[in-house]
C-alpha cells in the first residue's frame, strides 16, 4: 500500500503553452505508433474467412441488402425490415461495401477500424491525466485483449458502440473537470453516435458511470448536484437528440410505428427483463471477463493497495486519481448493468474493456515506479507457465484449436520465450524492457492466433454449409432452409431464402412455382422431413448439414 501511495502523484501540474507545444510532436508520434500497431493486429487476415453464421454474416448481408435495394432507412434481414438495432453500424457496413466491393473484408472493416481508433482514443483521452507511459500501456493493453481482438475481426455493432461510449466518457470527464464547453460538446456528440449505433443503452452506460463516480467522490448532496451540473445535461440532451431524432422519427414513420414498438418495447425492455433470448446465469460474465481479458485480467490486481488509496483520496485526489476512480466506476457500471440484465452475451461487456485497460496501464505504471516491481512475478510466472502448458498440451485438444496450435508450435514457443524474458527482466528490475516484453508477447499472441483461430473455426464449422449453398447456386434451383437462420445463404445467393419453421411453411414452399425445390437441413431436425410427405432425396451431406431434393 505504501508503494502505491508513493507512486500516485499528489497533483498534476498544469502544462504551460510551451510545455504543450513541446509534447505535441511526441504525442503525435505515439498516436501514429498506436494506430500502426492496431492496424497490424486487426487488418491482416480480416477477410481470410467467409461470413460466420449467424451474427457476423447477418451484419455483412444486411449491409449488402441495403446497398442492393437502396433502402437506407431501416436495416434488412433476408430482404425484410429488421428493427432490432439503430442504423449507424449498417450505414458504416454499406459504405465500406460500396467503397471496396462486396466481400467479408469490407463487411468487417468498420469493426476493425473502430478497434484501431478506440486504441487511439484510450491513449489520447487518458494522456492528459495519466501521463504518456501509462496511457500508451492502456492503449496497447486494450488492443491485445482477446475479447476485443475477436470482436474487432467480426462484423458486429459492439466495437463502434465501445468506441463512441469511450470517447463520450473521456471527453465528458475532461470537459467537466476543466470546465470546457468544447470537450463537453464533443463528448455528447460521441454519445449521440453511440445511441445511433445501439440505442438508449449507451446513455444508461455513460450516465451510470458518472453517477457511480460522483457518488463515490462527492462530500454530500450539494456537492453531488454541483458535480452533476458541471456536465451541463441540458446541452447533452440537445446534442444527442439532434443526432438521433431525425432518423428515429423517419424509421417510425417508414414502418408505420412498428419500429418504435419492436425496438423500444420488445428489444430494449424485453432484453432487460430477459424476455428475448440469450438468458444466462448471474455468473456468466466471470469466466468471460477473466478469459476475454487474459492476461490483463490478472494484472488488474497488480497494485493491491490501490482501492484503499482511492477511497482515502476520493474527495481530494489529483486528476490522475480521479481518472482511476472514473475508470473503476466505468468498469463497474458496465459489468454491473449487464450482469443484472437476464439477457447476456460475451460481446456486451466490451465497453468495459477500455476502462479496465486504463486501470491496468496506470497500475503497471505505478508499480514500475515503486520499489515493489518484482511482485509482478506473482502474476507473470503463471502467465509464462500457461504459455508453456499450451505448447505441451496442444496435441490433447480437439478440433480447430488443435490444428491451429499444432501448425503454429514455433510461434507458441516464441511467445513463451518473450514472456520468459519478461520474467527474467523483472528479476533484474529492468522495468521498461520487462513491460515492453510483456506487451509484445500479448500483442503477438492476439494478432496471430485470433485471426488464425477464426479462419480455422470457419473451415471446420461453416465451410461445409457454404459448400451446399454454392452447389445450390451453381444448379440455379429454388433452395430453402429448415428450422434454422443462416444469413450467409442470402449472402451467397443474392436473393431471399425461405426459412421453413412449420409444416405449413414446408407445404407452401412445395406448392411455390418453379422446380426443383431443394432443402438444407441441420442434423438436429432431420425428423421433421416427414413434413414433406414423400421421402426427399439426399443429394449431399457436409458436417451437420444435409442437402435434399423435395421433387
CA 263 – CA 198 distance, rounded (Å):
10
Kindly report, residue by residue over 342-360, the tens digit of the pLDDT. Answer: 888 999 999 999 999 999 9
Higher-pLDDT residue of 253 and 367 is 253
What separation in angstroms does the CA of 282 have from each of 173, 330, 344, 484? 31, 19, 9, 28
pLDDT of residue 471: 96
This model's pTM is above 0.85? yes
pLDDT of residue 17: 47
CA 426 – CA 375 distance, rounded (Å):
9
CA 481 – CA 465 distance, rounded (Å):
11
pLDDT of residue 338: 92
CA 449 – CA 473 distance, rounded (Å):
33
Averaged pLDDT for residues 80-87: 93
Can you tell me whether residue 153 is helix, strand or coil?
Answer: coil
Averaged pLDDT for residues 67-91: 95
- Please list, in sequence order, all residues whose beta carbon lies within 8 angstroms of the beta carbon of residue 195, skipping any fewer than 6 positions away: 86, 202, 203, 240, 243, 244
Kindly report, residue by residue over 452-485, the tens digit of the pLDDT. Answer: 999 999 999 999 999 999 999 999 999 999 999 9
Please give the distance of CA 152 from its chain centroid, rounded to a whole number. 6
- At 196, the pLDDT band (50, 70, 90 cuts) reads very high
Residue 266 has pLDDT above 80, yes or no: no
For residues 318 and 9, the answer to whether their CB atoms sit within 8 Å is: yes
Residue 528 has pLDDT above 60, yes or no: yes
Can you tell me whether residue 290 is helix, strand or coil?
Answer: helix
Averaged pLDDT for residues 162-183: 97
Can you give the residue ranges of every domain in the chain? Answer: 2-7+16-370, 461-549
How many CA atoms within 13 Å lie on the side-chain side of 145? 38
For the ranges 312-326, 356-370, 436-450, the maximum mean pLDDT occurs at 436-450
pLDDT of residue 63: 97
- 53's torsion region: left (phi>0), alpha (psi -120 to 50) or beta? beta
pLDDT of residue 274: 52
Amino acid at each position: 500500500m505504501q508503494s502505491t501511495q508513493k507512486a500516485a502523484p499528489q497533483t498534476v501540474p498544469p502544462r504551460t503553452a510551451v510545455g504543450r507545444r513541446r509534447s505535441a510532436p511526441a504525442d503525435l508520434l505515439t498516436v501514429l505508433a498506436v494506430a500502426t500497431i492496431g492496424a497490424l493486429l486487426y487488418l491482416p487476415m480480416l477477410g481470410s474467412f467467409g461470413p460466420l453464421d449467424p451474427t457476423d454474416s447477418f451484419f455483412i448481408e444486411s449491409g449488402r441488402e441495403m446497398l442492393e435495394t437502396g433502402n437506407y432507412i431501416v436495416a434488412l434481414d433476408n430482404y425484410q425490415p429488421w428493427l432490432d438495432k439503430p442504423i449507424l453500424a449498417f450505414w458504416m457496413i454499406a459504405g465500406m461495401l460500396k467503397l471496396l466491393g462486396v466481400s467479408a473484408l469490407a463487411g468487417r472493416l468498420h469493426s476493425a477500424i473502430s478497434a484501431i481508433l478506440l486504441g487511439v482514443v484510450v491513449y489520447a483521452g487518458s494522456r492528459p491525466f495519466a501521463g504518456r507511459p501509462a496511457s500508451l500501456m492502456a492503449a496497447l493493453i486494450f488492443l491485445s485483449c482477446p475479447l476485443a481482438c475477436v470482436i474487432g475481426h467480426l462484423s458486429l455493432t459492439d466495437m463502434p458502440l465501445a468506441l463512441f461510449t469511450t470517447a463520450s466518457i473521456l471527453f465528458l470527464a475532461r470537459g467537466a473537470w476543466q470546465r470546457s464547453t468544447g470537450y463537453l460538446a464533443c463528448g455528447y456528440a460521441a454519445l449521440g453516435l453511440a445511441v445511433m449505433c445501439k440505442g438508449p443503452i449507451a446513455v444508461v452506460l455513460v450516465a451510470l458511470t458518472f453517477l457511480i463516480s460522483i457518488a463515490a467522490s462527492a462530500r454530500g448532496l450539494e456537492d453531488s448536484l454541483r458535480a452533476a451540473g458541471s456536465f451541463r445535461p441540458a446541452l447533452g440532451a440537445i446534442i444527442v437528440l439532434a443526432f438521433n431524432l431525425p432518423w428515429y422519427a423517419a424509421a417510425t414513420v417508414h414502418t408505420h410505428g412498428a419500429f418504435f414498438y419492436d425496438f423500444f418495447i420488445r428489444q430494449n425492455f424485453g432484453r432487460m427483463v430477459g424476455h428475448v433470448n440469450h438468458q444466462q446465469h448471474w455468473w456468466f460474465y466471470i469466466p468471460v471477463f477473466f478469459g476475454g481479458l487474459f492476461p490483463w485480467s490478472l494484472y488488474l490486481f497488480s497494485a493491491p493497495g490501490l482501492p484503499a488509496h482511492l477511497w482515502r483520496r476520493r474527495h481530494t485526489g489529483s486528476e490522475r486519481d480521479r481518472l482511476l476512480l472514473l475508470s473503476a466506476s466505468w468498469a463497474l457500471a458496465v459489468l454491473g448493468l449487464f450482469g443484472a440484465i437476464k439477457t447476456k452475451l460475451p460481446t456486451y461487456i466490451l465497453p468495459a474493456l477500455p476502462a479496465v485497460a486504463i486501470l491496468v496501464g496506470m497500475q503497471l505504471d505505478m508499480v514500475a515506479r515503486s520499489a515493489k516491481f518484482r511482485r509482478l512475478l506473482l502474476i507473470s510466472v503463471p502467465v509464462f507457465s500457461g504459455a508453456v502448458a499450451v505448447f505441451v498440451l496442444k496435441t490433447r485438444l480437439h478440433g480447430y484449436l488443435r490444428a491451429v496450435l499444432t501448425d503454429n508450435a514455433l510461434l507458441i514457443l516464441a511467445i513463451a520465450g518473450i514472456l520468459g524474458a519478461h520474467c527474467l527482466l523483472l528479476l533484474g528490475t529492468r522495468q521498461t524492457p520487462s513491460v515492453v516484453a510483456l506487451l509484445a508477447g500479448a500483442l503477438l499472441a492476439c494478432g496471430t492466433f485470433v485471426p488464425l483461430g477464426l479462419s480455422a473455426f470457419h473451415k471446420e464449422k461453416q465451410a461445409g454449409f457454404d459448400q451446399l449453398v454454392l452447389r445450390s447456386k451453381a444448379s440455379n434451383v429454388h433452395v430453402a432452409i429448415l428450422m434454422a437462420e443462416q444469413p450467409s445463404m442470402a449472402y451467397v445467393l443474392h436473393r431471399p431464402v425461405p426459412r421453413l419453421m412449420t409444416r405449413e411453411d414446408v407445404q407452401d414452399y412445395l406448392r411455390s412455382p418453379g422446380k426443383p425445390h431443394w432443402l438444407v437441413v441441420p442434423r438436429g431436425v432431420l425428423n421433421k422431413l416427414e413434413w414433406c410427405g414423400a421421402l426427399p432425396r439426399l443429394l449431399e451431406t457436409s458436417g451437420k448439414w444435409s442437402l435434399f431434393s423435395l421433387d
